[in-house]
Amino acid sequence: MASFQITGGRKLKGELIPQGAKNEALQILCAVLLTKEPVTIYNIPGIRDVNQLIDLLGDLGVWVTKIGEGAYRFQASDVNLDYLETDTYKRKAAALRGSVMLLGPMLARFKTGRIPRPGGDKIGRRRLDTHFLGFEKLGAQFNYDANDGGYYQVDASNLRGTYMLLDEASVTGTANILMAAVMAEGITTIYNAACEPYLQQLCKMLNSMGAKISGVGSNLLTIEGVSELKGTEHTMLPDMIEIGSFIGMAAMTQSEITIKNCQIPELGIIPDQFKRLGIQMEFRGDDIFVPAQEHYQIDSFLDGGMMTVADAPWPGFTPDLLSIVLVTAVQAQGTLLIHQKMFESRLFFVDKLIDMGAQIILCDPHRATVVGLNRQVPLKGIRMSSPDIRAGVALLIAAMSAKGTSIIDSIEQIDRGYQHIDTRLNAIGAEIIRL
């Protein structure tokens, strides 16, 4: 188990280039199974979850060739379905939540799929019902046998297009169903589909492979099934969660940071939400410049009510940045209510911020009120542990702004989502030692 030792109070100055989008990568990589032809993908982040998925694809028989920094060529011309029966597959797939999205491509191309209960962050109940209800509506037969080691087994010998209304706008659920539907017979209509930029990217990639998907960018997708898909090239978006993390980090540490190549039109309301915290920023072409600010003041609603930031399906605010907004508000002027609607355990890191000196009231598992310190009192360094990816980076931001030295244990969680974060931040003035 590795740890970070962080010396707080260091002001950063320089440029940061965001990595490729983690959440997009997990979908795009699974989609390479849909064709026997080569698929080349650029801007893949070198993070633990993504590397584990690439490793799993290689074990399945996919030819994986690294052709440059963050660039790989995949060819799934000789997939070994017998590997799905092995203990190694069960262990590796169960350790990675994104592995569930292997099912859609397997069902589309091979008419069968098998996957153990996947892992991932411990941030509350994350059900898979949407995935399997969608598969069943396409004609797949689903079976879960606890006596068979906890495997989900799906038979998709007769996939047919249909209309479906998803019970939730699940990003991974929509991606999984979409990948199964592109080669189903007939027309599939998915209503209440997720429409995040990750999904739009997946749709664009699939269409470039020969799929027929319309309604891209909306919550109503129409898919006309095709018999086969061809190879393609695809470049992933920069990671919007990392971009938001860097904006919050700049504010908390009074740092002057330029975030390069952000593809700003794809960020939705993310910059506006940080502006509501009083954070100044300038758009310079496709770069975001965040100046050093001694103070930043949280807005209030027009009637004077306390500002609330809540997560919602896209184009609402992504839940992955609520932890960052929360920690950034700790040193703001004003009061903020954070409402985490989607996951009931994602706010269970605020006790560590309170130990550091933050003024936070955890109202219930879904809501926390942050009373900004306005830099009147600095946070103090402590020893703590990272419970999940986003909370881990929020704690890292708090430690970088604190007085004294902090140690964050279980940084494997941070490494799952942020590529060489210590090296990149040290290059612009941070003092982070990996123990």
Q: Is residue 129 part of an annotated ligand binding site? A: no
**pLDDT exceeds cutoff 50 at 121:** no
Q: Is residue 320 part of an annotated ligand binding site? A: yes
Owner of token pair 């799934």: 76
pLDDT of residue 1: 81
Residue 21 burial class via C-beta count within 10 angstroms: exposed 0-12, middle 13-18, buried 19 and up: buried
| Residue 121 a catalytic site member | yes
**Cis peptide bond N-terminal to 365, omega within 30:** no
Could you tell me if 296 and 279 are in contact, meaning their C-beta atoms sit under 8 angstroms apart? Answer: yes
In which band, very low, low, confident or very high, does the pLDDT at 164 lie, cut at 50, 70 and 90?
very high
Q: Is residue 261 part of an annotated ligand binding site? A: no
Could you tell me if 204 and 230 are in contact, meaning their C-beta atoms sit under 8 angstroms apart? Answer: no
Residue range 341-394, pLDDT digits in tens: 987 778 989 999 999 999 999 999 999 999 999 999 999 999 999 888 889 999
pLDDT of residue 325: 98
Could you tell me if 247 and 281 are in contact, meaning their C-beta atoms sit under 8 angstroms apart? Answer: yes
Q: Is residue 342 part of an annotated ligand binding site? A: yes
**pLDDT exceeds cutoff 60 at 123:** no
**pLDDT exceeds cutoff 50 at 120:** no
Which is catalytic among the residues 121, 239, 415, 422? 121
Could you tell me if 422 and 20 are in contact, meaning their C-beta atoms sit under 8 angstroms apart? Answer: no
428 Cβ neighbours under 8 A, 6+ residues apart: 12, 13, 14, 15, 16, 255, 257
Residue range 245-280, pLDDT digits in tens: 999 999 999 999 999 999 999 999 999 999 999 999
In which band, very low, low, confident or very high, does the pLDDT at 50 lie, cut at 50, 70 and 90?
very high
Number of CB atoms found within 10 A of residue 285's CB: 9
Residue range 212-244, pLDDT digits in tens: 999 999 999 999 999 999 999 999 999 999 999
- Residue 131's SS3 state is helix
pLDDT of residue 148: 65
In the chain, the percentage of residues whose pLDDT exceeds 90 is 84
Model-level pTM? 0.93
Q: In angstroms, rounded to a whole number, what is the distance separating the alpha carbons of residues 61 and 315?
A: 37
Pairing of strands 71-75, 151-155: unpaired
Average pLDDT across the chain, whole number: 93
Owner of token pair 């027929």: 212
Helix axis angle, 22-31 to 197-208, nearest 10° = 30
Q: Is residue 212 part of an annotated ligand binding site? A: no
Residue range 310-348, pLDDT digits in tens: 999 999 999 999 999 999 999 999 999 999 998 777 898
Residue range 395-420, pLDDT digits in tens: 999 999 999 999 999 999 899 889 99
pLDDT of residue 202: 98
